[in-house]
Amino acid sequence: MWPGLATLPWRWAGGAALLLALALEALALARGWRRPPPRREVLFFPSPVTCTAALLGGPGRAPCRCPLPHGDSPLGRLLRRLLSARRSLELCLFAFSSPQLGRAVQLLHRRGVRVRLVTDADYMALRGSQVGRLRQAGIQVRHDHESGYMHHKFAIVDRKMLITGSMNWTTQAIQNNRENVLIVEDAEYVKPFLAEFERIWEEYNPANYTFSPKEVEQK
Ligand SMILES: [Zn+2]
């Protein structure tokens, strides 16, 4: 049965709406294809010992001939994520003594990435700590001045990638401990971590220290 003349414009309108919806869908898909999917990765440690010279030595190096295996490893993946930084790196780490991770952070600093490190006062002076070396290289370091530990273990790359988990940045943890590290590019997680970093960074600003609050009270 043919539709009455009066219903035809409604049919055209319905058809046009359907075409528009399909076009929008196609556009959304195309945008999705163009944008790389957000990174989400879970790493478990201990990591087998592998050679990291290629990652830390930069491009253009001759293939490494050292006796270590040269395959993939959780540490290699962590290094690759860190070394993807182009603008900024915030580090909030209880203990930092891993030479490989220290080298990666220095490499980023030399490339012009703005690196800021917050750490724990009790652990930064221990033997093997990277903190002194990083400071000497010109990297900004601030530490806690509280009785409780600055026990965080997180990093933020380019204000868009959060790296967090149970692992201290020590060779002991990387090679011997069972640890988890979560890597996410998700603003919902990055935003509060970044806000917390800025809050701690300001709190540990030496200009804001109050060394003798009791004396102040007595005045
Ligand atoms: Zn090698």
- Domain range list for the chain: 7-34, 40-214
Q: Which has the closest alpha carbon to 183: 205, 160, 152?
A: 160
Identify the H or E element spanning 143. strand 140-143
Distance from the alpha carbon of residue 92 to the mean position of ligand 1, in angstroms: 29
User: What are the residues whose beta carbons fall under 8 Å from the beta carbon of 202, sequence distance 6 or more?
Assistant: 208
- Those residues of the chain that have pLDDT short of 50 are 219
| Residue 219 confidence (pLDDT) | 46
User: What is d(CA 95, CA 152) in angstroms, rounded to the nearest whole number?
Assistant: 9
Tokens linked to 31: 């945008």
155 in Cβ contact with 165 (< 8 Å): no
Distance from the alpha carbon of residue 70 to the mean position of ligand 1, in angstroms: 6
Distance from the alpha carbon of residue 45 to the mean position of ligand 1, in angstroms: 20
Q: What pTM did the predictor assign? A: 0.78
Distance from the alpha carbon of residue 53 to the mean position of ligand 1, in angstroms: 6
The CATH T-level fold of domain 40-214 is Endonuclease; Chain A (3.30.870)
User: What is d(CA 119, CA 146) in angstroms, rounded to the nearest whole number?
Assistant: 12
Q: How far is CA 36 from the centre of its chain?
A: 17
Distance from the alpha carbon of residue 69 to the mean position of ligand 1, in angstroms: 7
| Residue 50 confidence (pLDDT) | 92
CB atoms within 10 A of CB 110: 10
Active-site residue list: 151, 153, 158
